[in-house]
Structures are given as structure tokens and as C-alpha cells.
Structure 1
Amino acid sequence: MNPLLEKFNTPFDTAPFPEIKEEHYLPAVKEAIKLAKEEIEQIKKEEVPTFKNTVEALDGSGRLLQRVTSIFFNLNSAETNDEIQRIAKEMSPLLSEHGNDILFDAKLFEHIRKVYQQKDSLTLTAEQEMLLDKSYKYFARNGAELGDSDKQRLREISKRLSELSLTFGERVLAEANSFEMVLDNEEDLSGLPEYAKEAAAQAAKEKGHNGKWVITLQYPSYIPFMTYADNRELRKKLFMAFGSKAFKGDEMDNTSIVKEIVKLRNEKAKLLGYKSHADYVLEERMAGAPDTVYGFLEDLLEKGKPAGEREVNEVTEFMHSLGETGDVKRWDWAYYAEKLKKERYEIDDEKLKPYFKLENVVEGVFTVANKLFGITFHENKDIPVYHADVKAYEVRNADGSHLAVYYADYFPRAGKRDGAWMTSYKGQYKEGDKENRPHVSIVCNFSKPTATKPSLLTFNEVTTLFHEFGHALHGMLADGIYESLSGTNVYWDFVELPSQLMENWAYEKECLDLFAKHYETGELIPESLVQRIKEAATFLEGYQTVRQISFGLLDMNYHASEMGEVADIDAFETEAFMPTNLLPSVPGTNMSCSFSHIFQGGYSAGYYSYKWAEVLDADAFELFKEKGIFDKETAESFRNNILAKGGSEHPMKLYERFRGHKPSVDALLRRAGLIQ
């Protein structure tokens, strides 16, 4: 018996993780592909294609396949191992081939085209119109009208890209897991807070280095060391290890993979009639075209770089005042920036962390969601989970009705990739009178509890939790008919709006008073400390803005080029970063080879969207500030016009309906302190 192919006998039809064995995945995918093909054949048998029997039917096809692959690939990111990675390599070409079989099915496309040609005479809702438009473009933009030889080449490219992105991610993860800096002298830990020392001792014990300390490249270990460790040479050593992941000229090197991905993406775009991969991608984004993105980033750079240069001078002067000579190096930046912030604002993470016990922050985001949208979270231990660290919740509406299932996975481990993300195990959709509610998850890498302390978050980790929870709300509050248009299935440069908007609450005393209590004394976070957090929010904002722009420009330079050929990855990256360099570049390091967002994730020609969405969120939060951060009417409008709607209409229409006007970049620049 294969549990992936049986009806799930679990609360709310949740994934039966403990029953699923690795050997179940491939047979389940093969069977699900077979069933999906049968559903497609049924659509093609319709003599008179209609919106219902063709477009709606296509959107509803392949549900089992979607479910099985969601479970598998989510675990490949959050709880992977060698066998799962091996299966992924075998499974990805099958899925790529199946996708191409649908895409290049001439009869199926002809059915879609016939319905699309009647578009103006059909009486469709805005959501139905969007589905029809998206369905037609899916085929037209992906080669349905190409000749046979070009279709075959497109198949080969898609299959190869799928393999390359998997290998890219595996190498980055392997490189992060393989490095450990073993310290046997306690003096080498000078400057580190107690929690970081304790975590390093715990890591050493787990890795068989009893009586020593181990620093790794996982963020909860790497960031504190780079921020607090007094030993400059060890900071340099750690920085070099982090910056050279998959860039050492060995079997784990990603240089050739980056070159091939860039080349194949460009070739694919050309086959489809576009000048570049970026032209292809941006046609279906709010930005619309590469020139718009470049203009947007260059406008921000013009306003942000002078501030960034001033900030580098400030940090350099501060470093000199402490007796260090020469330029600030990249391994010095976080260390001296933190000391300067502490001196200027009398604030540092060690003073803040006792107020941010993980469990309290989690209750805080739940309370914010309740105050804004009336929803409640109830831990349910009957819902199966894939690891002991994971908690599962039933989410309910204000009237007590079931809204969603929410999984939370907070701590790093060897089988989990770095960073933080929101994902979905099941999307939201409606079938007639039946409502299918979503199952969403957030995955983070926060500091684990130690023998003497609970998990205490840095303020940056608090905002990360609020950010991912914003994505989760987008998924949980979805209220559409079609799964492909529901929840976070929106334009890529719109998807970060709910997440980045949520971060704003973490800076407000009215919100912090709900959960920011000292874990030992129960004392509420003092007003003076909150004020200093707000003042410090724009500390080095020019530098941070330029840094984000640099990543966006690197991404665009790879993908907006009509050449699609990169001879030397290191030289290419150095040139791309030149307009944004505020600190000297470091030979032997390279971001591209571990830039998972654009070479493994879905952000190619889209990294700019983080800053783009910041414009939206700054503009949107000004309305909440004006009306009150927990104003029910504003929250209800945001829920109904943005969160519930997903991708059912063009995002600018949805945004203007909520805000009453188009977003203005000035709101972001005001918040960042870059203009008055």
C-alpha cells in the first residue's frame, strides 16, 4: 500500500508524514502522472470546447500530482537526505517531461485557443477572465506554437535546467554542512554573547568535539560570530568560507552550472521569441520590462548611494577611533556596525533578546492576526508532522469555522537549507459547493534552545518571523475558486507585499506590548527601548539599500543580456557589483555560485521585487498608521482586496482598490530616512 495514493485518513486531509517512506515517492508520482494524462485526454475528447469543460477542467487536473510533489519537494528543502536528493534527480526529468507533454499537446492548445477566441462574447467574471488569459498565455508563452524541432529543443532545455537547479542547491547545502571551525581556546570566543558560546559548545558536542566550540555556516552560528567576535582573523576565516561556498574549483564548484543555466535560459527565451530571459519573465510581472527594472533600481541607487557612502565613512571613522587602522573590510562590517549602533542608540541584540522568547513572539503574531482578521490558532497534536521540531495548528475564522492548517518549523538542522520561507502543502480552491482549505507552512532557522536558555530571537529574527507569517496569511486567507490563482499565486513582484507589510507591526509599541516580555521577569519591553528600535531601524539604511540593489542588478545583468554567454563568472560578478561597491571586493569569494534565489529558487530576473514590494508595503502601511495599526476597517479591506483575492485580478487593480491610488516610491524613501 502506498499512503500517497490512498485517501489520507488524517485531520483535515493533512499529509500522513509518518506513514510515507522514501520508496513511496517515485511510484506515487508515476501513478499521478498517469492519472493526470487521463484527465487531459478527457478534456481533448470534448467536441465543443467551453470555458467549463476545457479551461476550468485543465485548472482542476493533476491535483494528485500537485499534492504528491508538494510534499516531496517541500521535504527536499526542509528535511532532506541523500536518498531524497537521489529521488529528486530521478523525479525532476519525469515531471519536466510531463509538463512538456501538456505544453506541446497541439489538440489541447487548440481547445484552449478556441475558448480564448470567444473571450469577448463570453460572460465571465474577472477571476474567470484571468484564468482564461493565464491558461492561453501558459501555452503561447511556452512554445505551443513552435515547430517540432524547436519543441524538442525546448523539452531538452527544460529537462536540463531542472537537473541543474537541483544540483546547484545540493552543492550549496553540502558546502554549508561540511564546514566547521573548531575552536579549542576560549579566548577565540571573546566578544561572543553567552548564548552563542553555549550554542557553539553544544554544536561541538554534537559533532564529537567535546570540550571545544564549533562555529558553522548556518545563520544562527555564522551571524553572531561575524557580529560579535573580537578575533578579526577568525572573522575573516569564517567570511571567506561563507563567501566561497561552491566556488573553490573542486567537485562542488557551481561555476559551470551558473554558466550553463544562464546560457540555457537565454536560449529558451530566444526560441520563444524574446530578446532575453528577463524580457520573457518580466512580461508577466508588474514591472513589465527590463528597462523598467533598471530604471527603478538606478533611481533608488542614485538616492541611496550617497547615504551608503556617508555610512561607510562613519563606520570607518568609528573603527579608527577604537584603534584599528586601514579600511573597513567586509568581515569587519557587521562587527563595527553593531558596536556603533550600540553606542549611538544604546541598543544591542543582547539587551533585546530576553524580550523575544520564540514562544512569546509566535503568540504575538497569532494575536496580531486575531486583532486584524479575527482568526485564531489552535495547536493540534493529531495532525502528523515530518519532524519532532514541527508544530501543527488548526486555524479558525472568527465564527469558529475551519480556515487552514498551519505548520511551523523553526530550528536549523543538517537536512534543512539555510534561510526562511513560506510554502504550501495544499492550495485553496472550490469545487462546486465544496471548499478546499489550504495547508501552509513557514520554515526558519532560528537559534535553538540551549541547556540553560530558551530560544531567544534577535530583533532581525523577529521581523523574519513576521515576514514569513505575512506570506502564510496570504495563503491561509485565500478565498478564490481556482487553485492556480489562489493565495500566493500572484505576480512575483507583488508576492512580497503581504510579508513585508507585516514586518511593520514589529516596530510598533502597541504591537510589541502584546508579546515582548522579558522571559525571566515578565517585564514589558520599555518604551525607551522601543523608541530606540525605531530610531535604529534606519541605521545604515543607505548601505542596506545599496546592498539589495546590488543583488537585483547582478540578477538583471545575468538575465537581461541578449548574449546569454558568461565567459568568467568571477569577472562578470565583479563588473556587475562595481556601481554598488561600498566596500572593497574580496578575491576568492563569489556570490553567484551560492545565489540560490536566482539559480535554484524562482527569483531569476525577479530579485528586484524585494525592493519593489517595499515601495508597496511602505505606501500601504502609511494607511494603517493614519487609521490605526489595528483598525478593523483597513484590515478588512486589506484582507478582502489583497489577501483573499490572490492572483484573480491584475495586482495594480487590487492595490488601487485597497489604497485608493497607485503606490509612491516616496513612502519608502521617507521610511528609510533617505528623504524628508
Structure 2
Amino acid sequence: MTDATNPLMQPSTLPYGLPDYGAIRPEHYLPAFQAGFQEQLHEIARITMVRSMPTFENTIEALERSGELLDRVAHTFYTVSSADATPEIQEIDEQLAPLMAAHQDAITLDGQLYWRVQRVYEQRDALDLDPEQRYLVERHHREMTHAGASLDDEDKAQLTALNQKLSTLTNTFERNLLNDTNALAVVFDAPDELDGLSAGELSAAARAAADRGLDGKYLITLPLFSGHPALAQLRVRESRRRIMAASLMRASRDNANDNRPVLREIVRLRAERAKLLGYDSHAAYVTADETAGTPDAVERMLRRLAAPSARNARAERAALQAIVDETEAAPFPIEAHDWAFYTERVRTARYDIDSSALRPWFEAERVLQDGVFFAANRLYGVTFSEREDLAAYHPGARVFEVRDADGTAVGLYMLDLYTRDSKRGGAWMNAIVSQSRLHGTAPVVVNNLNVPLPGDGEPTLLTLDEVTTLFHEFGHALHGLFATVTYPHFAGTNVFRDFVEFPSQVNEMWILWPEVLDNYARHHETGAPLDPAIVERLRATETFDQGHATSEYLAAAWLDQAWHRLGTEAHVDDVAAFEAAALTDIGLDDPAVPTRYSSTYFAHVFSGGYSAGYYSYIWSEVLDADTVEWFRENGGLTRGNGDRFRQRLLGVGGSKDPLEAYRDFRGRDADIEPLLKRRGLGS
């Protein structure tokens, strides 16, 4: 293969630099990565060989210019490896994991490069730097120091070995989880076992089964989290039990997909690495470079919220038990697989709302066009037009061009809505091309969800949770589209991990905003709007079941902390026993309210970027809830409000300290009271 025959070796000629996925084949990736590694190492060598004293231009800016080929190839590949991981792509991913880790260390731990960065950092007050440039110097110095650049050569060698092992293990964790999630999808023989699902949902289950060669049967695939949307509707208790049991056992059985030894080794190596870097634990290492600062600060927040959450969950369970005792011929104690079903009964009895009955008003295309895009247009003036002439990495993904109110091009937005066996679970946003004035690039971002694909001719009707997920992930996409920076280091969502969820959570506020809801919540057959009385009752339920929702989230956040606060001397033999002890410690050991993610399928922390950082959702929600109050106080869905939020928060990307950016937007630090009120956790 030559450079001329490999489409990854040259910048794409497609609009916005969109990779030419139609021309890219799996065998193109590894040679392009190898070329990217070599090219960037040569670029770094040219920086360190400069004889003149370090300056911003010959060191920091030169570092920012390096790795353009590798960055392009990596963004192209990792988009595919997460959303369409065929066996061939998985094999490449496994080969790449240690290579990428070694390459990153070769740069981050380069002693000569670090010396030059340090010299620029020490003289930053005397240099003529604009605010973004100064912050760039500070971040490069901080990140290299944090990563171990000041270690001696022997310790650096040990660190590099640890990083390579960890990269391989996290890749193994994700592969095992994907394989076992597919293997544990629950097969039903007859539609009466799925009594309660709509015709469209049954059609999707039949299609999923047929896609696996199980004609005449029904397949319920598993989402990433412990529960399942269908549990709220299924009337057959045994069907609910089977689905929940399959979800909870993922990657925890004695087979090739067992993640228990994998995660134990990940935890051990992360603790060893943290000690090498001078920290007591991996959690201490991670939070030291986040807005939280320390694991103790995280623990204080989690414990403050855990007790009232558990108290509310107990009250909610009592209400569910009362329904069971009153309505079932043979009452039984509420278990985890019953919670969602009887919650819907309580919701119906208390608020006269059946969540599953709302789906006809949430047709996916209308939610996207007349809800998600509509709100963005009203707030920011942007428009979205589908580019059917541009091919994504998979036929199921769609491409939209984004333009500002004056017609100026912003970038491309891609949506990959439906689940498939080759897509990892959950929902996420990632950049395919990052915006940068230095490189002259505009953003290309993608949202992935895992909505079941309906049968041919059937509409895609979303649950309210799926509508929420779409608005949430689109908030990340807006961050990626609107951040306008010079240096790629600060592009898009490249902010502190415990700040990154803030813009996406804010975007959820528009789901029930009257002007937005009235525009998209229309019956897919009649066009009738959602009854205003139902809308009011929906708003009245915003704190309903929040004890359960907050408890299951906090349990997962605490498990993440518990694993990653372990030191090198700790040894865990029994994963389930460790989980049980950790949940007892924080008072969230309720079997009827299982943790949102158990350890063996906790992809966020064992194969994603949230290790010791899953707390960031609730940490960011303090800012989110406070921001929602600001929007309400200042007129809500207006261009003026949108422009302020865009310019002072979304638009700065990572080029400013996030809490400073928040103060610039809000005029003060965030108040926690709106969060406590939202989740019903006030005294």
C-alpha cells in the first residue's frame, strides 16, 4: 500500500474535512496510524533540536501544530470502533491500544520537550501572550507534570509499561462487555410474554430476532445501564425478571467475557501508577486536575446527597408496595425488576400519567427537527439541513450541515440513532474533526444513541427517557460545534471531566419548555398536540421517583470512587463482596435499587474516560440547575440568552478555567439549592 492509495494519508477533500468513509477500508488504518506516529515524533524532534531558547512560538505553538495526520486518523478510526466495531475493527483496536499509549508517553514524557515547556511556563509573565495562549502554556505544563514528565528515566520506563498494560486491559473490558451484552440479549418465544409493549416495540423485537436468524421469536437487547425501558411496561413479571437478571450478570460469569479479573487488574495498575506519580490513589491523581480537587471533596458531596436519596427511595418503595398489596392476588415484596412497572402505576394513580402512552407524541424525526433543532435555532439562530450527498461511516448515520443565522458555515452534525450489535452501549458525542483556527478546521461532531430499530414501515416512537438522552447528547454536540478557539488543545468539549456534562445537562431544560414541547410533541398519526393538562402533570412529576433515580446514580458514583481510592496494598478477591461493602458504607445497599452500573459493565470508568470521575454528572448538575434558574429569571428561550450562554461558556471550549467561565456567565459561583430542590432532597 502506498500513500497515494490510502485515503487516510491525505486530508479529505470532502466538505469540512469529513473523512471519505466510502473509500476507507479496515486495512488502511494501521499503516496510516504508523505513519502518523512517525510523523509526529519527527515533529517533536524538530522542536527539541532547536538551538535557540524556548519561546511560545517554537515550543508551545509548534507542539500544537504537531500530530495533524495522527489526529485525523485517530478521530476517523475511533468514531468507527465505538459505533460499528466489526470483528475486523475490534482486532485493529486491540493492536492499536498499546501502540497509542506508547506514542502518547513518548511525547508527554519527553524530557527535552518538558524542559522547553517548563522554560516557557516560567517566563509566561514576561511574554506578550493573549489569554488563550497563556492558559495553553499553563495547561501543557500542568498536564505534562501531572502525567509524569518530571520523573527520572527508570520511573518513566515503569510508567510507560503501566500505561500500555492499562490501554490493553481497558480495550479488553469494552470488548468483553460488548460480546456479553450481545450474548445475553433475552429471547422470547411468543408475543404474550411481552404483553404491555406497543405494536411498534414488538415489531422492533421481532426485527432484532430476525437479524440474528431467530425468525418467529422476539429479542430484547440490553442497554448499558442496569435497568431497561421495557421494564416499565411488561405485565409478565417473569419476563421482567429475566431481562433484569440478564442485565445484572453481564461480564460477570465464568466465561471468555468475564470482566472481574480484568477490572481488578485495571484497579491494581491504576493504583500502582498513581503511587509512582506521587498520589495515594488513582482517585487522588484524577481529581487533582479537576475542579473538585480532591477525593474528599467528592465524598463530601456524595455523602451529603446519599442519605436523603436513600430516605426518599424507601418512601417510594413503600408506595410501590402498597400498590402491589392492593392490586395483586398474591402480593410479593417489590424487587428491582418490579420497580419501574409499579412506579408507572403510582405515577398514573397520583398524576394520571402513563409514560408509555406518551410515545405516540414523541416520533423521532419530529423530536429531532421540531424539538432539538428548533430549540437550537431559537436560542442560537443556527439551522440544520440534511446533506444526503455526504456519506457517514455507517448507512444508519445521517449528516446535517450547520449554519449560523447569517448563513456562515459552522460545521457538520451527524446523528447515529439506532442500536446494532457492533455498537457499544449507551449514548455519546464525539468529534470527527475538531475546530481550530491554527489548522483552519471546522467542527464535525456525531451523536450516537441506541434506540431499537422498528420494523419496516413502522415509526420510531421514543420514550421520554430517550427524548431526554437525545437533547442531552445534542448539548454535547452544541459544545463541540460552538467552541471557537485557536489551538486544538482547547477544541470543543476538551474541558475538565467534571465540567463536561454541564452544557449537555443544561440543554435538557428545553424538553418541557412550553414553546418547544408544543412544537414537537404532536401525535404521529393525528398531529394533535399533547394535552396541556398532561403537560402540567408531567412538570409536576419532575421530583417523582427521584429517590430511586438519585440513589442508583450515587451508588455507581460511589463504586467508582471506592475502587479508585484503593491503594497499592489493597487486594480484592471478590468483586461482588467489595461492591456490597462499598454500598453499605454509603447507605445505598438496597437490593430493590441496584446501582446504575455494576462494576463488570461499568464502561464509563473501566473502558471510558470517567475513571474516578463518574461523580462529574452530579457535580456538573449543580451548575446546570443554577443555570436553569438563570434562564427562567431572564426570559427563557431567547436569542439574547442563547448568545450569552454561547459566547461565555460554549464558545470558549477549554480555553478558559471552567469555573471562571461560569462566573463570567452567571456573575457569581453556582448555588447548590436549585439542585437539591430539583431532586427533592431539601430538608
Q: Which band: TM-score by shorter chain?
A: over 0.9
**Distance in 1, Cα, partners of 2:541 & 2:264:** 40
- Are the structure 2 counterparts of residues 304 and 426 from structure 1 closer, same or farther at C-alpha, using a change threshold of 3 Å? same
Superposed displacement of residue 326, structure 1: 3.5
**Aligned runs of 1:602-617 on 2, under 5 Å?**
602-617=609-624
- Are the structure 2 counterparts of residues 221 and 362 from structure 1 closer, same or farther at C-alpha, using a change threshold of 3 Å? farther
The yes-or-no answer on 1:427 pairing with 2:434 is yes
Quote the residue 1:141 is aligned against.
146
Of 469, 483, 494 in structure 2, the residue corresponding to residue 464 of structure 1 is 469
Q: Deviations over 1:174-213 (max 9, x none)?
A: 0111224332233322222322222222223322233332
SS across alignment from 1:647: coil
Partner amino acid, structure 1, of 2:600: C
**Distance in 1, Cα, partners of 2:563 & 2:91:** 29
**Distance in 1, Cα, partners of 2:9 & 2:138:** 32
The yes-or-no answer on 1:35 pairing with 2:39 is yes
**Aligned runs of 1:405-554 on 2, under 5 Å?**
405-431=412-438, 435-554=440-559
**Distance in 1, Cα, partners of 2:409 & 2:283:** 41
Moved over 6 A (4+): 219-222, 585-590
Q: Deviations over 1:257-288 (max 9, x none)?
A: 11110011111111011111111111111111
Quote the residue 1:666 is aligned against.
673
**Distance in 1, Cα, partners of 2:368 & 2:230:** 26
Quote the residue 2:344 is aligned against.
338
**Distance in 1, Cα, partners of 2:435 & 2:570:** 38
Partner amino acid, structure 2, of 1:391: R
The yes-or-no answer on 1:560 pairing with 2:598 is no
SS across alignment from 1:260: helix
Of 18, 22, 25 in structure 1, the residue corresponding to residue 29 of structure 2 is 25
**Distance in 2, Cα, partners of 1:80 & 1:326:** 42
**Aligned runs of 1:391-410 on 2, under 5 Å?**
391-410=398-417
Contact 2:505-2:621 at 8 Å conserved across structures: yes
**Distance in 2, Cα, partners of 1:447 & 1:471:** 22
**Distance in 2, Cα, partners of 1:201 & 1:316:** 33
Contact 2:542-2:678 at 8 Å conserved across structures: no
Greater shift after overlay, 123-132 or 560-569? 560-569
SS across alignment from 2:459: coil
SS across alignment from 2:412: strand
SS across alignment from 1:378: strand
Q: Deviations over 1:132-182 (max 9, x none)?
A: 111112221112121222111101100000000000000100011122433
The yes-or-no answer on 1:192 pairing with 2:192 is no
**Distance in 2, Cα, partners of 1:351 & 1:94:** 50
Q: Deviations over 1:85-134 (max 9, x none)?
A: 11111112111111111122211111111111112222322211211111
TM-score by length of structure 1 reads: 0.96
Partner amino acid, structure 2, of 1:424: A
Quote the residue 1:325 is aligned against.
331
Partner amino acid, structure 1, of 2:135: M
Of 302, 308, 313 in structure 1, the residue corresponding to residue 307 of structure 2 is 302
Partner amino acid, structure 2, of 1:359: E
TM-score by length of structure 2 reads: 0.95
Quote the residue 1:87 is aligned against.
92
Q: Deviations over 1:51-91 (max 9, x none)?
A: 11101111221011011011111111101111111111111
Greater shift after overlay, 559-568 or 391-400? 559-568
**Distance in 1, Cα, partners of 2:604 & 2:595:** 21
Of 238, 249, 271 in structure 1, the residue corresponding to residue 254 of structure 2 is 249
Quote the residue 2:162 is aligned against.
157
**Distance in 2, Cα, partners of 1:655 & 1:7:** 36
Superposed displacement of residue 588, structure 1: 14
Of 612, 619, 636 in structure 1, the residue corresponding to residue 626 of structure 2 is 619
**Distance in 1, Cα, partners of 2:250 & 2:513:** 38
Q: Kindly, what percent of the aligned residue pairs are identical?
A: 39
Contact 1:243-1:589 at 8 Å conserved across structures: no
Superposed displacement of residue 222, structure 1: 7.5
Partner amino acid, structure 1, of 2:268: K
Of 370, 390, 398 in structure 2, the residue corresponding to residue 383 of structure 1 is 390
Quote the residue 1:570 is aligned against.
576
The yes-or-no answer on 1:64 pairing with 2:64 is no
Of 126, 130, 134 in structure 2, the residue corresponding to residue 129 of structure 1 is 134
SS across alignment from 1:554: helix
- Are the structure 2 counterparts of residues 220 and 614 from structure 1 closer, same or farther at C-alpha, using a change threshold of 3 Å? closer
Contact 2:291-2:498 at 8 Å conserved across structures: yes
Contact 1:220-1:446 at 8 Å conserved across structures: no
Quote the residue 1:110 is aligned against.
115
**Distance in 1, Cα, partners of 2:11 & 2:65:** 18
Quote the residue 1:353 is aligned against.
359
**Distance in 2, Cα, partners of 1:255 & 1:632:** 50
**Distance in 2, Cα, partners of 1:600 & 1:359:** 32
Partner amino acid, structure 1, of 2:355: D
**Distance in 1, Cα, partners of 2:208 & 2:429:** 27
**Distance in 2, Cα, partners of 1:512 & 1:547:** 28
SS across alignment from 1:173: helix
Q: Deviations over 1:386-429 (max 9, x none)?
A: 11111101111111111011111000011101111000011111
Superposed displacement of residue 587, structure 1: 11
**Distance in 1, Cα, partners of 2:610 & 2:502:** 15
Quote the residue 2:13 is aligned against.
9
Q: Deviations over 1:576-603 (max 9, x none)?
A: 1223436327999981011000000011
**Distance in 2, Cα, partners of 1:556 & 1:183:** 38
**Distance in 2, Cα, partners of 1:506 & 1:185:** 36
Of 168, 179, 182 in structure 2, the residue corresponding to residue 177 of structure 1 is 182
Partner amino acid, structure 2, of 1:40: I
Partner amino acid, structure 2, of 1:379: E
Partner amino acid, structure 1, of 2:668: H
Superposed displacement of residue 215, structure 1: 2.4
In structure 1, list runs of 5 or more residues that go unmatched.
none
Give the CA RMSD over aligned residues.
Answer: 2.0
**Distance in 1, Cα, partners of 2:225 & 2:296:** 38
Superposed displacement of residue 452, structure 1: 4.7
Quote the residue 1:635 is aligned against.
642
SS across alignment from 2:414: strand
Contact 1:247-1:254 at 8 Å conserved across structures: yes
Of 628, 632, 646 in structure 1, the residue corresponding to residue 653 of structure 2 is 646
**Distance in 2, Cα, partners of 1:534 & 1:624:** 17
Of 212, 220, 229 in structure 2, the residue corresponding to residue 207 of structure 1 is 212
